[in-house]
């Protein structure tokens, strides 16, 4: 019987390693997917727009021509920061939804924090 319990233990360890490899692969795929999802943050009624990936990578900045005056410099700087924060919040929301979807697909309980996430 001891040989059988050692064999069972080895099988459990192999199964756990396989599960960990599967989770790692899914996490890598999800991170790649997040970098392909775009969100847009805006400020000043759309005068400044920032596009970024759901992973947080800035893709582009659009500034309305009306803000391109030296006297508007301070306002423009504030609007860029606000648009970035809006885009980042949207990116975080989308990333959270994608991670929740991935975790539910793996049978993990909602809110479970994977290491490195």
Confidence of residue 111 (pLDDT cuts 50, 70, 90): low
Residue 90: inside a domain, yes or no? Answer: yes
Within-domain flag for 115: no
Q: Is 112 part of a structural domain of the chain?
A: no
User: Which tokens is 10 given?
Assistant: 């080895």
How would you list the strands of the sheet with 48-53, edge to edge? Answer: 38-43, 48-53, 58-63
pLDDT at 49: 94
Q: Tell me what pLDDT residue 27 has.
A: 78
User: Tens of pLDDT along 34-70?
Assistant: 888 899 999 999 999 999 988 888 899 999 999 889 9
On whether residue 110 sits in a domain, the answer given is no
Residue 117 lies in a domain: no
Domain that holds residue 56: 2-105
28-39, pLDDT tens digit by residue?
887 788 888 899
Q: How many domains does the chain have?
A: 1
| CATH number of the domain residue 55 falls in | 3.30.1310.10
pLDDT of residue 2: 62
Alpha carbon 26 to its chain's center: 14
Other CB atoms within 10 A of residue 9 CB: 10
């Amino acid at each position: 019987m001891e040989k059988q319990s050692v064999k069972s233990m080895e099988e459990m360890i192999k199964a756990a390693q396989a599960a960990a490899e599967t989770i790692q692969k899914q996490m890598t795929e999800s991170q790649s997917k997040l970098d392909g999802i775009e969100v847009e943050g805006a400020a000043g009624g759309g005068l400044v727009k920032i596009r970024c990936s759901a992973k947080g990578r800035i893709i582009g900045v659009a500034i309305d021509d009306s803000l391109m005056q030296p006297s508007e410099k301070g306002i423009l700087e504030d609007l860029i920061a606000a648009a970035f924060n809006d885009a980042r919040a949207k990116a975080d929301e989308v990333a959270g939804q994608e991670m929740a979807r991935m975790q539910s697909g793996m049978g993990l309980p909602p809110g479970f924090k994977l290491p490195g996430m």
